[in-house]
Chains A and B, each alone.
Chain A
Amino acid sequence: MKKRTIFGNIYIILAFIFLYMPIAVLILFSFNSSNSTSNFEGFSFKWYGELFSDAATLDALKNTLLLAILSSLIATVIGTMAAYGIHKMRNKHLKSSIMSVTKIPMINPEIVVGISMMLLFVFVGGILGSKSYLGFGTVLIAHVTFNLPYVILSVLPKFKQMDKSLPEAAQDLGCTPLQSFFKVELPAILPGVVSGLIMAFTLSLDDFVISYFTIGSGFETLPIRIYSMTKKRVTPDMYALSTLIFVSILVLLLLSNLTSDKSREKMSKKAKKITKIVVGTAFGVIGIITVIVLIVSAGTKTLTLNVYNWGEYISDGGEGTLDVNRAFEEYYEEKYFLETGERVNVSVNYTTYASNEDLYAKLKSGATGYDIIIPSDYMIQRLKSENLLQKLDLNKIPNYANIKEQFRNPFYDNGEEKYTAMYTYGVIGIIYNSKKLHPDDLAKIEAGEAGWELLWDEKYKGQILQFNNPRDAFGTAMYALGIDVNNATEEDWKKAQEYLKEQKPLVQSYVMDEIFNKMEGGEATLAAYYAGDCLCMIGNNEDLGFYYPRKNGEVVTNIFADAMCIPSSAENVDLAHEYINFMLSEEAAVANAEYIYYASPNKAVIENEGYQINMGKYEIEYKLDENGEEVPKLDEDDCYIPVLDENGEMIIDEEGDYFVIYDDVLEDNLEDMFNTYAYRDLEDESRATLNQKWEELKVDSQSFGGGIYIFCAVILVALIAFGVYCYIIKRKRRRLYWNTQK
């Protein structure tokens, strides 16, 4: 063997570090006993357990597998036939042009494929007069389509490698052409077919972009589910899932290598036999799973409710919580039986999105069939103005009475007829690290005098985090400057931008989810963020604190609400009403409020004692755990145990989370705050201004500035120059050579 140089070794080590460090970290943290992403606090299988109790994720996993198996099988059959056809083609020009055409979908950006597919399906669906254009069928067709070229390109070389006389030999010995294909040609190209199948399977498994555009309501694949979780945090059970997927793909890859010709030749007979058994079992298991899934999904006739919500925005049964969707299914099946005496199978199809804009795009794209959506305030305004929502029949929602009066007439829904039922609301506040804050500022916060100006304080240069989205970032500046966020003029936008530019040198980075690590890890001192999330961070780091920024003694900050609505294209309107009613019931609403940690507009929740205890309204008992750390004591139902005073009364904990979320000052002014400070849907013109100003701010903020462009340009010019140089040399040589020929 050739001796490797030191540099060679270093190169290999570096390459492997770059390739596999991220995955190694992912795998490590999937075994972390806490949900911190910065420190590893102990080995545990907790998140794997979580994963397998999360019905929605498992459902998405099932969908993904089903889609991957079906699409890769179909693509393999069609692709093999296509490769056979191309192989048999006599006309070389036609052959090469078909090959080029085959490669286009591979080179074409996925987003183009996705959008064009969606457009086609909506167009054809419109012609056929179908109401819901997108669904499992469309995403399957899309996956088969983008898998095809990979199968063709994997099978075709095997055809080329195959001895051309093989089919002739078979026919010579008495095979009909069809027999010859199955008895001789197919076995010869089988390695190509199998590797094409595996390739198609893995591609389909992790495809996001194309699925995203072509998927319909009530069907969610794993990548889409994981992506939609980014609104909140990607939970560690996703690390567990990613680890499992990585391991399965690794196994598949090893199997496909084992089946390749080269490794086969080297193997002993025994190894061959074992490989055969392993590969056989693997495919067998996959096949059996498919069959079972197919039978199960075909066998159950169900009443389906398609719910489209933010990721991580419902109590899903993880960590001992209530699985609200399952509870609804059981509740309604029971109710239906009591009312009609008939059995019905209810199935909540729960899918998720990452932003209001995603939801909007989905609804506009013609993906109809959603029965329940939970958009935010300004988006509700937009959807309503475009007639994409239908009004609620409050007679069917008796639990609507649970919603506090002050939340029944928000600006986006203040007419006689109601279109929405508020789900949660939240306020943006400022989270700080008390250890790093100047005592004077700390005192100001304690006194309730601190405002937005701390985020512009030179003292905290490099310690401040700012929102990485235009509306919220500009919001901070506008609240600080006292500009009306909903009626800003061009001049106002400019002022806000100036102010943000002023802040920029102080800003450590513009973040969304990364704030969790940065604040919990003590990397940053100050940041504005959503109150519910801030409480999560405080729970993980005792040094952190939180306050609502004030201006002239009054809290001036953004408040936002998410509300349940029924789209006008909903197909199951009655069941949707039942669902909203159930979600407003005490049982479901408490479970959700405890899980989401945002404020609840629901009286039944706020007055629920268990909720109050769990949210920290009262002092609770603590104990020491095995590491000698203080942890809350739990009763047999996993609930906190309140401390009782001598009268047997619970002691109110003024510092508790409960009073952060339901701050007295806020509570009194909520209705006004909504009308003044909530973001409303912007006019197109303002939206454009905002985005443009944001871009200016951000582009300017790239520290490498023009350097990177110059760098790219230099490389490009060098490449072109090299190409020209090669061409000239070649021509020179050729000219000499031609001269000698003459």
Chain B
Amino acid sequence: MNEKKIIELKNVAKSYDGEVILDHINLDVHEKEFMTLLGPSGCGKTTTLRIIAGFVTPDTGDVVFEGVKINDIPAYKRHVNTVFQKYALFPHLNVYENIAFALRLNKISEEEIYNRVEEMLAMVNLKGFEKRDVNLLSGGQQQRVAIARALINKPKVLLLDEPLGALDLKLRKDMQNELKNIQRKTGITFIYVTHDQEEALSMSDTVVVMADGKIQQIGTPTDIYNEPENAFVADFIGESNIIDGVMLDDYKAKFSGHIFECLDKGFEKNERVDVVVRPEDVDVVPPEKGMLTGVVTSVTFKGVHYEIIVNINNFKWMIQSTDYVEPNQKIGIYIEPDAIHIMKRSEYSGQFGDYSSFSDELDRLSDISEEEE
């Protein structure tokens, strides 16, 4: 990243009532960057955003904006604007007045206000909605008003707190594209908070994966997906089978009782490691040709592929395949060396990557509870 740093968080920590929310994090945000803070609820991503916005004061550490420490500058004096999770549109004002709100505070001529509001409305495709009551707009339209309202002051940085969480899937996809376009057009730095890993991967220049008040990994979407640094990241970003393994030598890993070739090196001999294999990288083969063999415990049709859970040495693997297999069928699996990713063991080892208790329903439940946060 060649651009200048615009925001730096230096050793920032925050706790409420003895509960640690942020555990001394360091983060640099660059100009024109689309950065996403990604993590499960309670990981501290929203608190990070609020510290930047000025609604939360960190216990320790500095917030630096364009090289100036801004810890003590109140929210209303910061050149940062926010798009709130539930939009927080002013219900007593119409669309035009909502967008013009920030300008009205600064004694700007009505004509200029008009021009700038119209410009914003054009950008978010809401021309002709000026007199509408914001309470009667659809979720997507409200979202656009919120974005226009936040951008009208031409902030250096736009903070977005799960802005698409309340929209349905189709609309969310459209808005993702639109947000990305707006960011490109305006060149404003976006800091985007979400717990939706797909959203994070598809929109961001940089993804910051957070958990338990700590930053787990910072990287481009492809880095994060292909080279997760620990079991948490591997599990949180996409589906993964994470198996205990031993690095016998460079390029040689042993797990599930079989020795595999891989592309990783630089571990100590016989070092215990976490092995990540993405479900889509596993090939189903007849048992006799398989590197490993196991019995299919369940098969679910997912549209593009089948989701197959296979019991291999009492570890449940997930495999995504376009070929149908029967439950209780004995199958073999084949893994290419480049499909194997070796990670150092971490505090998250052993917690993730086993699909023995996996169920779609549980997954959905946890999604809902996160959205309610």
Decide yes or no: A173 and B84 within 8 Å by CB, A184-B90, A188-B91 being known contacts: no
The interface bits of chain B over 140-183 (1 if a CB of A lies within 8 angstroms of the residue's CB, else 0) are 00000000011001000000000000000000000000000000
A166 near B76 (CB under 8 angstroms)?
A: no
Q: How far in angstroms is the closest Cβ of chain B from A259?
A: 12
A275 within 8 A of B: no
Decide yes or no: A175 and B76 within 8 Å by CB, A168-B55, A187-B92, A188-B91 being known contacts: yes
Decide yes or no: A187 and B90 within 8 Å by CB, A168-B55, A174-B153 being known contacts: yes
The interface bits of chain B over 79-120 (1 if a CB of A lies within 8 angstroms of the residue's CB, else 0) are 011101110111111000000011001100000000000000
B337 within 8 A of A: no
Chain B residues whose CB sits within 8 angstroms of the CB of A175 once the complex forms: 76, 105
Specify which of B80, B84, B89 lies most central, judged by the most chain A CB atoms within 10 Å of its CB. Answer: B84
Q: What residue in chain A is nearest B133 (Cβ atoms)?
A: A265
B74 within 8 A of A: yes
Chain A residues whose CB sits within 8 angstroms of the CB of B77 once the complex forms: 174
Chain A residues whose CB sits within 8 angstroms of the CB of B135 once the complex forms: 265
B90 near A169 (CB under 8 angstroms)?
A: yes
A300 within 8 A of B: no
B82 near A172 (CB under 8 angstroms)?
A: yes
The interface bits of chain A over 173-186 (1 if a CB of B lies within 8 angstroms of the residue's CB, else 0) are 11110010001100
A171 within 8 A of B: yes
Q: How far in angstroms is the closest Cβ of chain A from B108?
A: 12
Chain A residues whose CB sits within 8 angstroms of the CB of B81 once the complex forms: 172-173
B342 within 8 A of A: no
Q: How far in angstroms is the closest Cβ of chain A from B268?
A: 46
Q: How far in angstroms is the closest Cβ of chain A from B113?
A: 13
A165 within 8 A of B: yes
Q: What residue in chain A is nearest B90 (Cβ atoms)?
A: A184
B75 within 8 A of A: yes
The complex places the Cα of A51 from the Cα of B86 at a distance, in Å, of: 57
Chain A residues whose CB sits within 8 angstroms of the CB of B92 once the complex forms: 187-188, 190
Q: What residue in chain A is nearest B93 (Cβ atoms)?
A: A187
Q: How far in angstroms is the closest Cβ of chain A from B16?
A: 10
B105 near A179 (CB under 8 angstroms)?
A: yes
The complex places the Cα of A168 from the Cα of B53 at a distance, in Å, of: 10
Chain B residues whose CB sits within 8 angstroms of the CB of A170 once the complex forms: 90, 101
B102 near A173 (CB under 8 angstroms)?
A: yes
Residues A151-200 near B (CB distance < 8 A): 163, 165-166, 168-176, 179, 183-184, 187-188, 190
The complex places the Cα of A265 from the Cα of B150 at a distance, in Å, of: 27
A173 near B101 (CB under 8 angstroms)?
A: yes
The complex places the Cα of A179 from the Cα of B150 at a distance, in Å, of: 18
Q: How far in angstroms is the closest Cβ of chain B from A163?
A: 5
A168 near B84 (CB under 8 angstroms)?
A: yes
B105 touches which of A165, A169, A173, A190 (Cβ 8 Å): A173
Q: What residue in chain B is nearest A186 (Cβ atoms)?
A: B92
B101 near A168 (CB under 8 angstroms)?
A: no
Q: How far in angstroms is the closest Cβ of chain A from B330?
A: 38
The complex places the Cα of A73 from the Cα of B75 at a distance, in Å, of: 33
Q: What residue in chain B is nearest A163 (Cβ atoms)?
A: B88
Chain A residues whose CB sits within 8 angstroms of the CB of B93 once the complex forms: 187
Q: What residue in chain A is nearest B136 (Cβ atoms)?
A: A265
Specify which of A166, A171, A172, A174 lies most central, judged by the most chain B CB atoms within 10 Å of its CB. Answer: A172
Q: How far in angstroms is the closest Cβ of chain A from B367?
A: 22
B53 near A172 (CB under 8 angstroms)?
A: yes
A173 near B88 (CB under 8 angstroms)?
A: no
Q: How far in angstroms is the closest Cβ of chain B from A184?
A: 6
B84 near A169 (CB under 8 angstroms)?
A: yes
B75 near A171 (CB under 8 angstroms)?
A: yes
Q: How far in angstroms is the closest Cβ of chain A from B18?
A: 15
Q: How far in angstroms is the closest Cβ of chain A from B242?
A: 32
The interface bits of chain B over 328-348 (1 if a CB of A lies within 8 angstroms of the residue's CB, else 0) are 000000000000000000000
Q: How far in angstroms is the closest Cβ of chain B from A269?
A: 10
Q: How far in angstroms is the closest Cβ of chain A from B153?
A: 7
Q: What residue in chain B is nearest A175 (Cβ atoms)?
A: B76
Chain B residues whose CB sits within 8 angstroms of the CB of A184 once the complex forms: 90
Specify which of B54, B81, B90, B149 lies most central, judged by the most chain A CB atoms within 10 Å of its CB. Answer: B90
The complex places the Cα of A169 from the Cα of B142 at a distance, in Å, of: 14
The complex places the Cα of A176 from the Cα of B84 at a distance, in Å, of: 18
Residues A669-699 near B (CB distance < 8 A): none
Specify which of A171, A190, A265 lies most central, judged by the most chain B CB atoms within 10 Å of its CB. Answer: A171
A163 near B86 (CB under 8 angstroms)?
A: yes
The complex places the Cα of A171 from the Cα of B153 at a distance, in Å, of: 13
The complex places the Cα of A649 from the Cα of B188 at a distance, in Å, of: 111
B88 near A169 (CB under 8 angstroms)?
A: yes
The complex places the Cα of A163 from the Cα of B85 at a distance, in Å, of: 11
The complex places the Cα of A172 from the Cα of B88 at a distance, in Å, of: 11
Chain B residues whose CB sits within 8 angstroms of the CB of A187 once the complex forms: 90-93
The complex places the Cα of A317 from the Cα of B5 at a distance, in Å, of: 87
The interface bits of chain B over 49-85 (1 if a CB of A lies within 8 angstroms of the residue's CB, else 0) are 0000111000000000000000000111100111011
Q: What residue in chain A is nearest B74 (Cβ atoms)?
A: A171
Residues B235-288 near A (CB distance < 8 A): none
Q: What residue in chain B is nearest A179 (Cβ atoms)?
A: B105
Q: How far in angstroms is the closest Cβ of chain A from B156?
A: 14
The complex places the Cα of A175 from the Cα of B77 at a distance, in Å, of: 9
The complex places the Cα of A165 from the Cα of B161 at a distance, in Å, of: 11
The complex places the Cα of A606 from the Cα of B56 at a distance, in Å, of: 88
Of the A-B pairs whose beta carbons lie under 8 Å apart in the complex, a sample of 18, sorted by A's number, is: A165-B84, A165-B88, A168-B88, A169-B88, A169-B89, A169-B90, A170-B90, A172-B76, A172-B82, A173-B105, A173-B150, A174-B102, A176-B76, A183-B101, A184-B90, A187-B93, A265-B135, A265-B136
Q: Which residues of B are interface residues toward A (Cβ below 8 A)?
A: 53-55, 74-77, 80-82, 84-86, 88-93, 101-102, 105-106, 135-136, 149-150, 153
Closest 10 CB pairs of A and B: A187-B92, A165-B88, A169-B88, A173-B102, A165-B84, A171-B76, A171-B75, A172-B82, A174-B105, A174-B76
Q: Which residues of A are interface residues toward B (Cβ below 8 A)?
A: 163, 165-166, 168-176, 179, 183-184, 187-188, 190, 265
